[in-house]
């Protein structure tokens, strides 16, 4: 398997209007670096795409990307660049990007041109921006690529904000993460451009201390929370039945929490995020992880605070 680290430059409509047929971002460059399992660079890819939807480059894009009219005029059309890109990727690969946006936009552009989908379910990838935060910071903060490059002391011999170079720098950051923390595959992200259509395509992954589940669609939140897999509190490490410590409760109706205790692994926290699909249905992203007692107390406090707020509102209304 190869790691394909890619970066896109895109062009967008000027102002708010002009989101032609659901394509707010038109890709004008694909830059990529191919890495082997040891995270060594084995090949590079770079193609400029001639814009069709927004022929006038947005002034910000011109400023940031440094592509001029002539570069773009000489570009190839998106479908043929995409085809050669996928051929170059090979048969077994894992996409890696800085952040999460590019992987969605790549699929949206393919969809716009009627190309075959990469997948019919959530696409696993490595978000190097997230991995950087997990490896060197608190796991939550998101840094700019150049910040990470500076912090890791990577030599800056090529300008930023060109797809090819940004892919190269992202690859070098990934190489560092791999060297310092070898478990990059333990933190897979999933792109949600394609949602699971049925049970078979649902995402269920287990890592050392946490698990992730992405459900099929449900009619509404209540139906979702009634689903066995959504509400299940089986331990995310051993799969054993647990004892509930804090029952399911909701925050804003968008997030739901529950805490249970596993005899062997201690406290297990489940968090359900309700997400809206394009057709108005809902689907669920559920994560479970082992937590300590202080975190249980914090969750209990959050629940108490919510209850107090609700009681106060009721009091005011009557």
Residue among 265, 271, 275, 302 that touches Zn ion (CB under 5 A) = 265
Q: Name the one range near Zn ion by CB under 5 A: 99-107, 206-214, 244-252, 254-262.
A: 254-262
Within a 10 A sphere around the Cβ of 129, how many other Cβ atoms? 20
Residue 239 C-beta: closest distance to Zn ion, Å: 7
Residue 72 in the binding site for Zn ion (CB under 5 A): no
CA angle 235, 238, 241 (to 5 degrees): 45
CA atoms within 13 A on the CB side of 76: 11
DSSP states of 262-318 as a string?
ETTTEEEEEEEEEEE-TTS-EEEEEEEEEE-HHHHHHHHHHHHHHHHHHHHHHHHH-
Contact (Cβ atoms closer than 8 angstroms) between residue 197 and residue 216: yes
**Does the protein bind Zn ion through residue 288 (CB under 5 A)?**
no
Least separation in angstroms between CB 139 and Zn ion: 23
Six-digit token string for 216: 């099929």
**Residue with smaller CB distance to Zn ion, 203 or 235:** 235
Binding test (CB under 5 A) with Zn ion, winner from 200, 264, 314, 316: 264
How many of the other CB atoms lie within 10 Å of CB of 15? 7
Among 262, 270, 272, 274, binds Zn ion (CB under 5 A): 262
Minimum distance of Zn ion from residue 264's CB (angstroms): 5
Give yes or no for residue 235 binding Zn ion (CB under 5 A). yes
Q: Which among 111-119, 195-203, 261-269, 303-311 is the span making contact with Zn ion, rule CB under 5 A?
A: 261-269
Q: Which of residues 138-197 bind Zn ion (CB under 5 A)?
A: none
Q: Is 274 in the site for Zn ion (CB under 5 A)?
A: no
The HSE-up count of residue 228 (CA atoms within 13 Å, CB side) is 1
State which of positions 106-145 bind Zn ion (CB under 5 A): none
Q: Which stretch binds Zn ion (CB under 5 A): 24-32, 121-129, 177-185, 235-243?
A: 235-243
Rounded CA separation 70/66 (Å): 11
Q: How many residues bind Zn ion (CB under 5 A)?
A: 7
> In whole angstroms, how close is the CB of 260 to Zn ion at the nearest point?
10
Q: Cα–Cα distance between 50 and 26 in angstroms, integer?
A: 10
Interface residues with Zn ion (CB under 5 A)? 235, 237-238, 240, 262, 264-265
């Amino acid at each position: 398997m190869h790691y394909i680290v890619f970066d896109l430059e895109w062009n967008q409509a000027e102002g708010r209007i002009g989101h032609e047929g659901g394509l707010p971002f038109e890709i004008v460059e694909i830059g990529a670096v191919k890495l082997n399992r040891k995270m060594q660079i084995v090949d590079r890819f770079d193609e400029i795409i001639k814009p069709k939807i927004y022929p006038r480059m947005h002034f910000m894009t011109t400023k940031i990307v440094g592509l001029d009219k002539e570069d773009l005029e000489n570009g190839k059309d998106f479908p043929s660049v995409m085809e050669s890109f996928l051929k170059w990727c090979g048969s077994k690969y894992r996409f890696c990007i800085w952040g999460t946006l590019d992987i969605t936009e790549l699929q949206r552009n393919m969809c716009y041109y009627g190309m075959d989908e990469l997948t019919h379910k959530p696409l696993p990838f490595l978000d190097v921006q997230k991995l950087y935060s997990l490896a060197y910071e608190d796991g939550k903060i998101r840094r700019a690529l150049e910040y990470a490059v500076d912090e890791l002391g990577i030599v800056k011999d090529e300008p930023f904000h060109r797809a090819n170079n940004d892919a190269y720098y992202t690859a070098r950051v990934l190489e560092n993460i791999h060297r310092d923390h070898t478990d990059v595959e333990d933190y897979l992200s999933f792109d949600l451009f394609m949602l699971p259509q049925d049970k078979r395509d649902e995402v269920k992954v287990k890592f050392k201390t946490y698990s992730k589940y992405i459900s099929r669609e449900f009619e509404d939140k209540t139906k979702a929370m009634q689903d066995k897999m959504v509400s299940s509190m089986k331990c995310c490490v051993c799969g054993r039945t647990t004892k509930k410590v804090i029952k399911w409760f909701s925050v804003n109706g968008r997030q739901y929490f529950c805490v249970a205790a596993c005899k062997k692994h201690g406290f297990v926290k489940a968090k359900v995020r309700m997400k809206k699909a394009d057709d108005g249905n809902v689907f669920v992203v559920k994560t479970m992880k082992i937590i300590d007692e202080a975190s249980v107390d914090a969750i209990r406090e959050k629940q108490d605070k919510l209850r107090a707020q609700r009681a106060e509102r009721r009091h005011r209304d009557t």
